[in-house]
């Protein structure tokens, strides 16, 4: 009898322990929602050796997730298809939908982290837009691939697994929108695509990556610079802003053309510290005098555009800080939806924390 009671207590303890373990692991398992938007990561080519002649944005999110062995051991992962495009064709309408969906996911507590699969060509722009409009406190991670999903050594599955690991990691919270590619973690404001075809195509040229994804875990090596900006409403209609690429001999004709298209702002990707050839400067000064906001950025890949020639200040041009022209354009569009005052827009650029990089 004593033996039977002892045996029953051992069994009861064993079952109680098992169910306890299951409950704890189910409750503590991070939930990651993967929002798929297309890109090469969802690209398909006629043959596995074909790595350039493919169509981006073809394969659906379920197939992307099922090509990643072990993803389920990292998190409770669910997929959702937001669109399926080549990211060169990204639109304001998709940006708005994406920002609204990410906000909704966190507001309704649908996930602990979000991964956005995206084409690499405009990934940095979407990441920056999401950072400015959502300013998430929970992890939001963009990833993609340089080789199509059908390629023999496709890099998409590894990047997706890394991105899920980062999105599931508590240390990624509060670091803003992140880009995870080729084992590196970058801040949305700092990252850019620096190579046309290599697998390690992304870098943060004015700094280092924020961290890395290694075999034994996610490692952050530094904090991103905090932004003092409050989130911009993603639904506001965004005015037209054109980017002009500076070059020797620029006579200002394209600045005049930009005004004819109705641009409310121009980002001038100047030489070095945002220098502008004389004739182009004269055309831009005229545009500024008639209310178009001019931001000086740089065609150099790294470093900040800081106050320079006194004429630029007198003409009311804005220093774009360390933002690459394509990101300065996004911030200028969002800022113009708030104010047309150049001084206030300069404060917005300063508050984005990019000016001092």
Q: Is 202 or 268 the residue whose CB approaches ligand SIN more closely?
A: 202
Q: Nearest Cα to 223, choosing from 353, 63, 127, 71?
A: 353
* 3-class secondary-structure state, position 316: coil
- State the minimum distance, in angstroms, from the CB of residue 180 to ligand SIN: 14
Q: Which residue is nearest to ligand SIN (CB)?
A: 119
DSSP 245-313: E--TT--SHHHHHHHHTT-SEEEEEEBTTTB--HHHHHHHHHHHHTT-EEEEEESSSSS-B----HHHH
Q: Give the β-pairing of 211-214 and 217-220.
A: antiparallel
Part of the chain binding ligand SIN (CB under 6 A), chosen from 116-124, 157-165, 270-278, 283-291 = 116-124
Part of the chain binding ligand SIN (CB under 6 A), chosen from 5-13, 14-22, 80-88, 309-317 = 80-88
Task: Indicate whether 87 belongs to the interface with ligand SIN (CB under 6 A).
Answer: yes
- State the minimum distance, in angstroms, from the CB of residue 121 to ligand SIN: 3
- State the minimum distance, in angstroms, from the CB of residue 131 to ligand SIN: 19
Please give the size of the binding site for ligand SIN, defined by CB under 6 A. 12
Q: Is 40 or 133 the residue whose CB approaches ligand SIN more closely?
A: 40
Question: Cα separations (Å) of 214 from 83, 145, 153, 302?
Answer: 30, 18, 19, 27
Active-site residue (options: 21, 23, 40, 120): 40
Question: Please, are residues 201 and 181 in contact by the beta-carbon 8 Å criterion?
Answer: yes
Q: Nearest Cα to 73, choosing from 183, 178, 161?
A: 161
Residue 148 CA from chain centroid, whole number: 20
Report the Cα–Cα distance between both ends of the chain, in Å, rounded: 77
Task: Indicate whether 192 belongs to the interface with ligand SIN (CB under 6 A).
Answer: no
Q: Nearest Cα to 132, choosing from 342, 357, 343, 337?
A: 337
Among 134, 140, 146, 348, binds ligand SIN (CB under 6 A): 146
* 3-class secondary-structure state, position 138: coil
Among 54, 75, 82, 86, binds ligand SIN (CB under 6 A): 86
Among 79, 119, 157, 325, binds ligand SIN (CB under 6 A): 119
Task: Indicate whether 181 belongs to the interface with ligand SIN (CB under 6 A).
Answer: no
Part of the chain binding ligand SIN (CB under 6 A), chosen from 104-112, 115-123, 133-141, 211-219 = 115-123
> DSSP assignment, residue 55?
B
- State the minimum distance, in angstroms, from the CB of residue 39 to ligand SIN: 4
Part of the chain binding ligand SIN (CB under 6 A), chosen from 82-90, 126-134, 271-279, 311-319 = 82-90
**φ, ψ at 346 (rounded to 5°):** -60, -40
Among 30, 136, 139, 144, binds ligand SIN (CB under 6 A): 144
Q: Is 261 a catalytic residue?
A: no
What burial class does residue 205 get, using C-beta atoms within 10 Å of its C-beta: 0-12 exposed, 13-18 middle, 19+ buried?
middle
- State the minimum distance, in angstroms, from the CB of residue 196 to ligand SIN: 9
Task: Indicate whether 156 belongs to the interface with ligand SIN (CB under 6 A).
Answer: no
Interface of this chain with ligand SIN, residues 8 to 67, rule: CB under 6 A: 38-40, 56
Per-position b or e across 233-256, b if 16+ CB within 10 A of its CB: ebeeebbebbbbebeeebebebbe
Q: Which residue has the tokens 């373990």?
A: 21
Could you list the residues that contact ligand SIN (CB under 6 A)?
38-40, 56, 86-88, 119-121, 144, 146
Residue positions annotated with a catalytic role: 40
């Amino acid at each position: 009898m004593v033996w039977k009671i002892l045996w029953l207590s051992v069994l009861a303890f064993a079952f109680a322990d098992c169910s306890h373990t299951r409950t704890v692991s189910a409750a503590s398992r991070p939930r990651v929602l993967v929002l798929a938007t297309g890109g090469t990561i969802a690209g398909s080519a006629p043959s596995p050796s074909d790595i350039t002649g493919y169509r981006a944005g073809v394969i659906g999110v379920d197939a992307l997730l099922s090509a990643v062995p072990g993803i389920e051991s990292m998190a409770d992962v669910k997929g959702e298809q937001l669109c399926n495009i080549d990211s060169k064709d990204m639109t304001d309408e998709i940006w708005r939908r994406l920002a609204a969906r990410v906000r909704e996911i966190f507001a309704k507590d649908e996930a602990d982290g979000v991964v956005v699969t995206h084409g690499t060509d405009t990934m940095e722009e979407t990441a920056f837009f999401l950072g400015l409009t959502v300013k998430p406190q929970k992890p939001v991670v963009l990833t993609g691939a340089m080789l199509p999903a059908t390629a023999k050594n496709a890099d998409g599955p590894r990047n997706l697994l890394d991105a899920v690991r980062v999105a599931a990691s508590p240390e990624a919270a509060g670091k803003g929108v992140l880009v995870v590619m080729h084992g590196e973690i970058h801040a949305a404001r700092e990252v850019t695509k620096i190579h046309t075809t290599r697998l390690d195509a992304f870098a943060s040229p004015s700094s280092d990556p924020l961290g890395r994804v290694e075999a034994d875990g996610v490692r952050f090596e530094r904090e991103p610079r905090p932004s003092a900006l409050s989130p911009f409403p993603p639904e506001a209609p965004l005015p037209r802003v054109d980017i002009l690429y500076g070059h020797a001999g620029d006579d200002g004709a394209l600045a005049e053309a930009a005004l004819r298209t109705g641009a409310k702002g121009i980002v001038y990707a100047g030489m070095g510290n945002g220098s502008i050839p004389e004739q182009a400067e004269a055309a831009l000064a005229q545009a500024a005098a008639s209310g178009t906001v001019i931001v000086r950025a740089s065609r150099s890949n790294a470093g900040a555009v800081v106050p320079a020639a006194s004429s630029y200040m007198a003409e009311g041009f804005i220093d774009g800080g360390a933002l690459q022209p394509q990101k300065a354009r996004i911030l200028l569009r969002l800022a113009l939806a708030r104010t047309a005052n150049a001084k206030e827009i300069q404060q917005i650029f300063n508050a984005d924390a990019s000016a001092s990089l």
